[in-house]
Each structure stands twice: as C-alpha cells, then as structure tokens.
Amino acid sequence: MHKKVIFRHRWLPYALLFPQLAITIVFFIWPASQALYQSVLLEDAFGLSSKFVALENFIALFEDPHYLGSFKVTIVFSVAVAFLSMGFSLLLAVMADRVIKGSMAYKTLLIWPYAIAPAVSGVLWFFMFNPTVGINAWLLRQMGYDWNHYLDGGDALLLIIIASAWQQISYNFLFFLAGLQAIPRSLIEAAAIDGASPMKRFWTIIFPLLSPTTFFLLVVNIVYAFFGTFGVVHATTDGGPYGATSILVYKVFNDGFVGLDLGGSAAQSVILMAIVIGLTVVQFRYVERQVEY
C-alpha cells in the first residue's frame, strides 16, 4: 500500500495531512457524532433543556405514518429512477456499440446532461409538465389525460422520477458503453458463427458479462436517488402534494429547518447514515471482488 523507497521526516507528513484531516474532523466527523448524540436526546420547545431518551426518537419515527410514508416514497422513487435510467441507457449503449458511423457524435450528444445539476433538470421538466404552459402536459391533455402535479401525488412523483432519471442517463450510458467495449469480440463472433441471433447473443453472452457494470451502476443509482436528488424535489414539488414526493433527504431537511424538530431530524440523519454506510460497504465489497479476478 505504500512505497519501498520512502522519506522519513518528523513533522512533514502530519503537516501535509493537516488540512484534509482538520476539515474532515470539523465538518464531517464532529457533526456526524453530534447527530448521533442528539438523536438520543429530547429537547424542549425552547431549546433550553434536553434529556436523555435513549431510542425514543427512533421509535417515534417508526410509529410516525409520515415517516413510514416517506420511506415508501423513497423506495418507489429510487427503484423507478434506477430502472428507468439504467434501462434506457443500456439500450442506447448497446446501439452505440453497434453503429460504426457517427458513434462519436452520438456519444458527445448523449453525455452532457451529466453536467446539468439535478435541480436544474428538475426545473426543465417542471416547465415541460407545467399544467398551464408545459408542452408535455398539453400533449397529455390532447390525449385525454389531465396532468396536474400540483394536485395529483402520482403525477408529482412521476415528474421527479423522470427528471432524476434523465439527469443520470449520461452517466449510466458512459459506464455501460465502457463495459460493452471491454467484452471480447471473439466471444460474440463465435456465437454468431454458431447461429445465435443478435437478441440471443445479448441475453446469453453480453448481458451476463455486463453484470459487474450493471451491479456497480445499480448501487450508484440507488445512492444517487437517495442522496443526490434533494435539489430535484426542493426546486419543483417541495415534497408535495401532501407528502407524495417527500423523499427521506427532503424530510430530514424539512423537519430540521422548517419544523425545527432537532431530535427527530438527528434520528433521521442517523438512519440515513446507516443506509449510506450499508450501500458503501456493498459497493466496496463488490470492487474488491472485481479486483481479485
């Protein structure tokens, strides 16, 4: 893990590490430990005194229908974002891997949503689905569907799913394309000589060989949907209508800053931390396994 030829110096390595460690401790580890600490305290309404309540904040959370509802919304949301975005990207990547002419041009045209902030992507789709002026809402009305994400929770959830999935397409596309290009051509050629159709080759050879990429992207997409989409929700639906789009990161912000419920917000933070740690461990386990072969 480090070089054989090394320097010895009494203070230099610490000085080099100091800025990184100082920021980490002040802005990461200290606040995280504060969240842990506050999550077991109950503060009175004026913030004057607090008492130790052990797991009461957590129990209260899991008895709160709003929190459970938020959990459910988050799960539906992240699964939908991951599948929609990955499915579409995989289709595009397979096609881009096939074409000979213009593949660079397609690549350039497909990668730049990565640069667009989730919040901005939210605003784009918010505009297109706006019930009065939006082009998509207008088209839907022509087809007989009255779209209104201000009133209909399902419409609102679909709106943030589409906006979030759209922003993630380019990322998934790039990794799927890289994964496809790493599959040895000889395997596919052999299958073709044996008479396997393109469809059959995809499902029996390409897709299984692509599974490490797919799994990696699945974790990344879930992490993105859980933690990276705050902007999409906050800039568009504000968690509404009636909590239909109140995903967990939005709720932790809303309860803490708008509702000023310190203990509850801290408990939510702790739960979210547990989820990130779980997902990170899964991701690294997988990376390690990939390194082995």
Enumerate residues 252-271 that contact another protein by CB under 8 A.
Answer: 252-253, 256-257, 262, 265-266, 269
Question: What is the largest distance, in Å, between two alpha-carbon atoms of the chain?
Answer: 78
User: Which H or E run includes 130?
Assistant: none
User: According to CB under 8 A, which one of 137, 161, 222, 225 is a site residue for another protein?
Assistant: 137
Q: Does residue 70 belong to the site contacting another protein (CB under 8 A)?
A: no
Instruction: Name the region of 242 (left: φ>0; alpha: ψ -120 to 50; beta: rest).
Output: left
Q: Is residue 189 within the footprint of another protein (CB under 8 A)?
A: yes
* Residue 253 · residue 230 · CB < 8 Å: yes
**Is position 231 an interface residue for another protein (rule: CB under 8 A)?**
yes
The only residue of 59, 66, 76, 198 in contact with another protein, by rule CB under 8 A = 198
Contact, 153 vs 247, CB < 8 A?
no
Candidates 50-58, 78-86, 91-99, 151-159; binding stretch for another protein (CB under 8 A): 91-99
CB 250 within 8 A of CB 234: yes
Rounded least distance, CB 275 to another protein, Å: 8
Q: For 5, which DSSP code?
A: S
The sign of the dihedral angle between the CA atoms of 39, 43, 48, 51 is negative
Q: How far apart are CA 228 and CA 215, in angstroms?
A: 19
| Nearest distance in Å: CB 33, another protein | 8
Per CB under 8 A, the list member of 46, 59, 75, 106 interacting with another protein is 106
Stretch near another protein under the rule CB under 8 A, chosen from 61-69, 75-83, 122-130, 148-156: 122-130
* Using rule CB under 8 A, residue 215 touches another protein: no
Q: How far is the CB of 265 from another protein (least distance, A)?
A: 5
